[in-house]
Amino acid sequence: MEKKNKVSTEDYLDIEKPTIETYDVFDDFFFHKYMGEKGNELQQKSFLKTLGIDIKGEFTTTNTKITADTEEGKKVRLDTRIITQCKKDINIEAQKRKTDDFLERIITYVCKRLIEPVSKGKNYKVFKKVITVAICNFSFLKSLKYHNIYYLKNSNIYIDETLIDKIEIHFIEIEKFRKSIIYEEDPNDSTKIIKTKKDLKNNLKHQYIAFFDNQISHKERKEIVKMGDEGLKASMKNLEISLQNGEFDEYFLIKLEEAHQENIKKEREKKYKEKEKKLEKKYEKKEKKLEKKITKETKKAIKIGREEGREEGREEGREEGKEIANIAAATNLKKAGMPVEEIAKALNLTTELIENL
């Protein structure tokens, strides 16, 4: 059995190190090496041309960070940023996973790059054309096509009017391209979509996109490159070199440490949640006990109140009966001619009451 190539920190974390057969072309390190860094101009220009993005004159590749988009103020480094002499700012991004804010981030970076050259008092004509190419390892658009382009255009399909030719966003969905039958724009009519087979022998665009597929083997990728142009060959050469030199080991250890710190953070969060859950259960138990006690005492108080009420009613009844009997006696004594004062004194009644009898 082949021994796995692994690198470990001193801590418990143990992650398998990628090899020539297990690497992922969507990994930031590899993507920068074969497509993103300065020195990759040949493959950058060739790949962009297959997408219909033509670069005239000289251009500069940079991984310049753009302004902060988080509360912590962390700047974001674009995977590949190309600044051309023909006033184009091109960003090629590799998106391995779809996040909830994926589209929002893409639009945010487009807008920030668009206004970056503009400062107070400057003419707005300094805008460069901002182009983004997002190579996505997933599918999310309704369109059947694997390659879709978005502009600021009139919503009426019969009116071919671009509001401003300064924003262009390309989405390449690798998941759709993996299928045996793919959908593309009709080269003779851009309003139509055609169904076709992949042509990895003659179609340079298909060859480049297949190169980005992280589900094919290194051997399959090399076969595709053999049929491709010099740009693809340069990408493969840089990719293989990056797997063999010590620079990747250094990068991998950094990623390993980041994963370790992430695990520590998750472990702390887990412990905090467990502690919080225990406290919640403890409080719930106390609340139930208190509720039970209150209910018991309330029932007791209601019972006592009812008994006292009944006794009070009985007492009031007795008093009322006694008063009625005294009034009847006073009436008879008054008829017999007994003085009012003496009747009042004997029966504990008021003289006023007796006089009115």
Q: pLDDT tens digits for 320-347?
A: 666 777 777 777 777 777 777 877 777 7
Q: How distant, in Å, are the alpha carbons of 208, 266, 314, 315, 356 from that of 322? A: 113, 83, 13, 11, 19
Q: How distant, in Å, are the alpha carbons of 45, 204, 219, 237, 269 from that of 49? A: 6, 10, 26, 21, 48
pLDDT for the residue 244: 81
Q: pLDDT band at residue 205, thresholds of 50, 70 and 90?
A: very high
How confident is the prediction for the chain on average, in pLDDT?
A: 80
Q: pLDDT tens digits for 312-321?
A: 666 666 666 6
Task: Give residue for tokens 């992922």.
Answer: 24
Cβ pair 185, 192 in contact under 8 A: yes
CA angle (47 as vertex; 44, 51 as ends), nearest 5:
130
- Span 102-117, average pLDDT: 89
Tokens coding 337: 């001619």
- pLDDT above 60 for 72: no
Cβ pair 185, 159 in contact under 8 A: no
Separation between Cα atoms, residue 205 and residue 196, nearest integer Å: 14
- Span 165-193, average pLDDT: 92
pTM, two decimals, is 0.66
Cβ pair 41, 59 in contact under 8 A: yes
Separation between Cα atoms, residue 10 and residue 261, nearest integer Å: 13
- pLDDT above 70 for 256: no
Amino acid at 88: K
pLDDT for the residue 51: 95
Separation between Cα atoms, residue 109 and residue 92, nearest integer Å: 12
Distance, CA of 260 to chain centre:
22
Domain boundaries, the chain: 20-244, 271-352
pLDDT for the residue 261: 73
User: How long, in residues, is the chain?
Assistant: 357
- pLDDT above 60 for 311: yes
Q: pLDDT band at residue 2, thresholds of 50, 70 and 90?
A: very low
- pLDDT above 50 for 350: yes
Q: What DSSP designation does 125 have?
A: G
pLDDT for the residue 159: 87
Task: Give residue for tokens 């022998």.
Answer: 201
pLDDT for the residue 132: 94
